Amino acid sequence: MKVFENLESEVRSYVRNFPTIFTKTKGSKMWDKNGREYIDFFSGAGALNYGHNNEKMKLALIDYITNDGIAHSLDMASDAKAKFLTTFNEVILKPRNLDYKVMFPGPTGTNTVESALKLARKVTGRTDVISFTNGFHGMTIGSLSVTGNSMKRKGAGIPLQNVVTMPFDNYINEQNSIDYIERFLEDSGSGVDIPAAMIFETVQGEGGINAASFEWMKKIDTLCKRWGIILIVDEVQAGVGRTGTFFSFEPAGIKPDIVCLSKSLSGYGLPFAVTLIHPDIDKFAPGEHNGTFRGNNHAFITATVALDYWKDNQLEQNIKAKSAKTHAFLHNLVEKHSKLQGEVRGRGLMVGVSCAVKGLASRIAAQAFDYGLIMETAGPEDEVFKLFPALTIDDETLEAGLAIIEKSIEHVLKKETQFV
């Protein structure tokens, strides 16, 4: 590991939590240079919902590359892009009665959020945006301005302005934050102008696996319609099946004005993002928002293959079954190990346990790594250990990973007498 300590910047983070050199991955398994096997409950922070090196995607990509398929094309037309657009429209948008134009803003989650914020401001002529407590939307200046984490915000080095933070669902003792928000909008003395947009995640990933209720999302949607506010839903981490349906907002019955997608959209871990825009607000002038790598043709290839999973409901049914098993296991764990002071959070296979004891979640995750399981923590104080298994994980591997979590909890609680 010395090469990383000596040559890589101090900003590195995941390598500190998983201090080994990985050499091979397949499905829900990873192997290091010593041949040790790890079960992956991290899934590239949600970028590998279909697991590592998915065979169908891999073969399609190899075939494309060996036949000299175009790799880089900015936003010029290509066969690969045409097939992705057509398939995405036929498999994802039309069956859900969704009408969106597809924008390729750049290859990452923060790129799609930046484009969404810029477009909302352009269309409405307003400057402010309402974001929500514990939200996370990216690390570039616009996206960071609507992110709640104080440590990440400080990294900007400049004031992050034109954003008002409002309470997310159940942020304050289950009080109705909708009434609170509406009061600010109605009262001319509140100091809050009518914003260009509201942006939220249906389940806050980095913010602590906080899941908004469907009722809360519907009320936010109604509020935005009433006041002429652009509704942006950030699906970067919660989307592409992670919560059980392709879009995490589907069960709420809402249709956002703008949808941000990235991470697992490529299906293979390749950088890829889109911004879905209702046609009525598709108002960018040609080139007004652009980027050199907004046309990742390799990602078009794998993303198109990944959409095969959504041509029927088999994957959704499998996610539902695995989610039920995982949630039941975690609820049992929390009940069985009261010293955790735990609370199960999340939806689908975007789930975690919040531990009231400071530092406990991090110690459990570290112990799990020692036992051969990779999972991360989330929340403003890293108080949640977070489970992100691949949506395609087999039952045997899922159960083995869950068993390691329980073993890790037992080890930590037994070893650290202050928790016993």
Interval 239-298: pLDDT, tens: 999 999 999 999 999 999 999 999 999 999 999 999 999 999 999 999 999 999 998 999
Taking the C-alpha atoms of residue 222 and residue 44, their distance in angstroms, rounded to an integer, is 34
pLDDT at 181 over 50: yes
Instruction: Kindly give the interhelix angle for 214-227 and 177-186, rounded to the nearest 10 degrees.
Output: 10
Interval 211-248: pLDDT, tens: 999 999 999 999 999 999 999 999 999 999 999 999 99
Q: How confident is the model at residue 377 (pLDDT cuts 50, 70, 90)?
A: very high
pLDDT at 417 over 90: no
Residue 418's pLDDT is: 53
Residue 177's pLDDT is: 87
SS3 content of the chain, % helix, strand, coil (to 5): 45, 15, 40
Q: How confident is the model at residue 187 (pLDDT cuts 50, 70, 90)?
A: confident
Among 109-113, 152-156, 348-352, the range scoring the smallest mean pLDDT is 152-156
**Which sign does the torsion angle of CA 247, 249, 250, 256 carry?**
negative
DSSP annotation string for 106-161 = -SSHHHHHHHHHHHHHHHH----EEEETT----SSHHHHHT---HHHHHTT-S---
Q: How confident is the model at residue 172 (pLDDT cuts 50, 70, 90)?
A: confident
Interval 299-335: pLDDT, tens: 999 999 999 999 999 999 999 999 999 999 999 999 9
Residue 419's pLDDT is: 45
Which residues, listed in sequence order, are joined to residue 354 by a DSSP beta bridge? Answer: 343, 384
Interval 4-25: pLDDT, tens: 999 999 999 999 999 999 999 9
- pTM comes to 0.96
393 to each of 20, 27, 157, 265, how far by Cα in Å?
23, 7, 41, 18
Interval 27-43: pLDDT, tens: 999 999 999 999 999 99
pLDDT at 362 over 80: yes
Mean pLDDT of all residues in 348-352: 98
Residue 176's pLDDT is: 78
Contact in structure between 261 and 233 (CB atoms under 8 Å): no
Q: How confident is the model at residue 188 (pLDDT cuts 50, 70, 90)?
A: confident
Q: How confident is the model at residue 372 (pLDDT cuts 50, 70, 90)?
A: very high
Per-residue tokens: 327: 């949630």
Q: How confident is the model at residue 415 (pLDDT cuts 50, 70, 90)?
A: confident
Phi-psi map region of 90: left, alpha, beta (phi>0 left; psi -120 to 50 alpha)? alpha
Helix ranges restricted to H, 171-296? 177-186, 214-227
Residue 63: closest CA among 292, 301, 308: 301
pLDDT at 192 over 90: no
Residue 420's pLDDT is: 44
Residue 175's pLDDT is: 64
- Other C-beta atoms closer than 10 Å to the C-beta of 49 total 27
